[in-house]
Amino acid sequence: MKLIAANLKANLTPDSTNTYLKTLESTLKTKVLVFPNIASLKANTFINIELGTQDAYPVKNGAFTGTIGSEVLTSLSIKTLLLGHSEMRARGDSLIKEKFSFYKDLGYKIIFCIGEDSNILDKKGFLGTQLKDCDLDYENLVIAYEPIWAIGSGKSATLEDINSTYKMLKTLGAKKILYGGSVNETNGKDIYSITDGLLIGGFSLDPLKFASLANELDSISL
């Protein structure tokens, strides 16, 4: 089953997130995954929306400033983690493997982000190294391929490049692969048709446009 996910990043307040989610829920005819900012997380009680967290520390709770642990997520019935996004890796990725192991043991669905910048010559080697921080045989793992240069740039990778990277990641052992990086209503359908789904950033901030795209993709037999 294909997956459509929205990464809201540091956008929206708790109040505007409530409005966003209500609008999205009332418009959707299919299921989507949404990652609000941590301050705007709320109980996972929607029908067509599954909420996930953009980050979490590999602990239940404790003296770890600026993050949350599994206790908070459990209280909200949140069981999905976005891990390894390039904007987080820029702060250092030494904890990624530890986070993966901890939340894997708790049975979380993990959307594991990988991606290369435009100056990387050995794409397969670079992405393969990133994949070593996760267990590719984990049944609740989804890989999200996001070329760093495409994130927020308004320029998506070409369909040819996305397709070749998708096939290459399959040879490395990835089983379910999303694409992210300047996905919108113009390119979303074509990208969706050659991958296992989409991880959408800026375009997803408009709940009506995001719901319209999700509904359209769900109605297409691919």
| Residue 85 annotated to the active site | yes
Q: Which domain holds residue 101?
A: 3-219
Sheet holding 141-145, edge to edge: 49-51, 32-35, 3-7, 197-200, 177-180, 141-145, 109-114, 80-83
Give the pair of three-digit tokens for residue 198: 């989409």
User: 152 and 202 in contact (C-beta within 8 Å)?
Assistant: yes
- CB atoms under 10 Å from CB of 110, counted, come to 24
3-state secondary structure 140-179: CEEEEECCHHHCCCCCCCCHHHHHHHHHHHHHCCCCCEEE
Which of 25, 50, 71, 85 is the catalytic position? 85
pTM for the complete prediction? 0.95
- CATH number, domain of 18, equals 3.20.20.70
* Alpha-carbon distance values, 111 to 22, 32, 55, 138 (Å): 24, 13, 11, 11
| Residue 50 annotated to the active site | no
Q: Which residue has the tokens 């446009």?
A: 209
Tens-level pLDDT at each residue, the chain (222 residues): 899 999 999 999 999 999 999 999 999 999 999 999 999 999 999 999 999 999 999 999 999 999 999 999 999 999 999 999 887 776 666 799 999 999 999 999 999 999 998 888 899 999 999 999 999 999 999 999 999 887 777 778 899 999 999 999 999 999 999 999 999 999 999 999 999 999 999 999 999 999 999 999 998 855
Which of 71, 146, 185, 216 is the catalytic position? 146
- How many independent structural domains does the chain possess? 1
